[in-house]
A and B are shown apart, each in its own frame.
Chain A
């Protein structure tokens, strides 16, 4: 067992429920990063989509997820301090707020509200989000650290499907596998450790298990009432799935979470008391005004039973990762293309997914929450909304704010739209005679 794992382990036993457990694990994550910074041990910056945690963990390189760190500054009410620091040095108000929070942190002494914000020794970036690449280039310029960009060819159009024998799939796998091998060399160089394929195998096995559990967790919300709110607890599950991907604590956490949910279902306990409306969230959360945002839905006894966020920002873990442990590297390449990659590409063609989710989870309406920070998840929402309404008769609410930029939050407008949406859902119900 590696030392940092030992440090994280007690978190689970001392936590009474998964909410506390995730908080404790998150806090241990920050401790670990702070220690790495203090001892100048190499830290890798990586991203929730396409993190390649499997490879980084195989070298015990601690991972910083700047997206998670950025949203945490907003939850702590501090994001604007950093964001404005970045705007002061020339970053436009129209650029992703996560990027600016991170740049602000790096340029104001790297003091994050939850701990020391480490310097990256290397970066694992990817084309899952184009902004990742531009973002990574800022560290490349500031610290001269190596930036590895994992290039994942995505869906080539709507209805795109890989078959394991198709030429496109084989061509893509070869490309991705080559890149993974390059990353292994880089990680070995940065960490000064030799690559241990058996260690990778173990990690892959644990990701398989975590993915299985994560899928089971998501499916729990097919129950009525839904045992968890995808917008609140769901984000905790996702956070842990990212920072502890392939770690024993990650598996343990998912097991605990699933058991907790099974118990809630057995006792008919819902995430929102007297559940009345079941919603699907498309887009992301709003972290600057997280409680108010959630409250506006809960007031109407609306619960998010599922979210697209828990899919794409979970790095494909929701799609059933099934690594073949007999051929770890090849299988890593294949599975990234089959799970992580579609969780991103799917965003652009998600109308069919949404229609299916509406059926499977018995959803009353879809909340499309567009955040200016994230064009990846937000730019096409109005079009998808219209498609769902007209082709699948699923009503949708379109609202806009931001992840971390509180200037984009307008409480009265937000509440007005949300209230009106619930009023219309209610009328639909009356008309349907339910």
Chain B
């Protein structure tokens, strides 16, 4: 069983780490006329594209396996790594298979992606999806449904496939299953964190953005089953929440360093894949259901404004619900919203008297000694405190 799990995780690792996107190319081989939609962080309603038979690729950055050669010539020096890496992937031709690229204006730097891509790839349909930033407004859902229909119209044009309600409902069901499995995986992390490593869990989760969801459901379903049946004993490790991975991701090796010293019982890595926190209804108008779910049954991040979800309250809730003893409040280097939110998180956690570590990371880091030292010192200080 462990061997089978090892194979599953290896498949996930390749999907996440290989800058050549093997899982996408495999799908294109199997579907020679298939179309691919790329979307930048954080959230995109992939169901809409899926309903038209399109494959979606959630844009991730890469560690030092992708070297920046071209991208720096197109973007100012003071932007985060994921923006440069994803642009590098485009400029180096590795994303030539994309038929459509959708970005959402998550931050001031990311708002430039569409312009740069349009100038570099005039043939590609680069669309900006304006997700509501006044999410609590009573007018937001009507607006969002209209916006989803607009995007759906473009997808229909590109694929030549009409997005019927039935097809959309079926896609929602598939993604509901995916979300259910991810919730399961995270429940294991919260309840019995010794059963699954952070890097295993991360790869299992994040790979959903870079392979067909049908395949991901198979892998994830089987993996959750095997993990649950593992016979492992808890170790004396502190339980922490990791916050700050909503867009750019830390390098896997850093997560590996972290799991050596702590149980990470919850996190916001690739939160867009888990943005909708409940099953999306399939009865009624499915497009409306998707829009309402985005606004009403969703997670949080520094780049969505919703006064009903003050971020520090949400973080404290995440901590409480996972019974964490401490939090790591990280932000990617040069990530303005992340760095801004970090100050608020720091203040709220300090006020609540909750131990936490504030740090920066970058996907391209190759030297983890400093991170190891920080994590170890932090964990030791906690263990010492609780003796």
Contacts and interface: CB of A to CB of B under 8 A. Distances in A.
Contacts of B120: 383
Interface in B115-143: 115-116, 118-120, 125-130, 132-134, 137-140, 142-143
A92 to B, nearest CB: 4
Given A130-B108, A348-B111, A383-B116, A154 B302 contact: no
Contacts of A174: 139, 142-143
Contacts of B118: 157-158, 349
Contacts of A349: 114-115, 118
A380 B302 contact: no
B307 A147 contact: yes
A155 B307 contact: no
A178 interface: yes
Given A153-B147, A157-B118, A348-B112, A134 B138 contact: no
Contacts of A150: 134
A379 B150 contact: no
B286 to A, nearest CB: 18
Given A96-B336, A380-B116, A400 B77 contact: yes
A130 B303 contact: yes
Contacts of A370: 76
A351 B119 contact: yes
Interface stretch (A21-29, A38-46, A164-172, A409-417): A164-172
A178 B142 CA distance: 11
A262 interface: no
A155 B128 contact: yes
A57 interface: no
A346 to B, nearest CB: 10
B222 interface: no
What is the predominant secondary structure among interface residues of chain B facing chain A? Answer: mixed
A391 to B, nearest CB: 9
B150 A168 contact: yes
Contacts of A89: 343
Interface in B135-184: 137-140, 142-143, 146-147, 150
Given A153-B143, A348-B112, A382 B76 contact: yes
Nearest to A93: B339
B268 interface: no
Contacts of B339: 91-92, 94-95
B108 A383 contact: no
Contact of B150 (A141, A151, A167): A167
Contacts of B137: 151, 175, 178-179, 182
A384 B302 CA distance: 28
A153 B146 CA distance: 12
A301 interface: no
Contact of B128 (A133, A154, A179, A381): A154
Interface residues of B, number: 58
Contact of A154 (B105, B138, B303): B105
B344 A379 contact: no
A386 to B, nearest CB: 7
Given A94-B336, A155-B128, A376 B119 contact: no
B337 interface: yes
B326 to A, nearest CB: 18
A375 interface: yes
B74 interface: yes
B344 A376 contact: no
B111 A376 contact: yes
A387 B344 contact: no
A383 B71 CA distance: 9
B98 interface: no
Contacts of A94: 78, 333-334, 336, 339
B119 A387 contact: yes
Interface string A379-402: 111111011000000000000100
A379 B342 CA distance: 22
B225 interface: no
Given A127-B134, A137-B344, A138-B344, 6 more contacts: A91-B339, A94-B334, A378-B76, A380-B112, A382-B74, A382-B75
Interface of A: 89-92, 94-96, 99, 127, 129-131, 133-134, 137-138, 140-141, 147, 149-151, 153-158, 167-168, 171-172, 174-175, 178-179, 182, 348-351, 370, 372, 374-376, 378-384, 386-387, 400
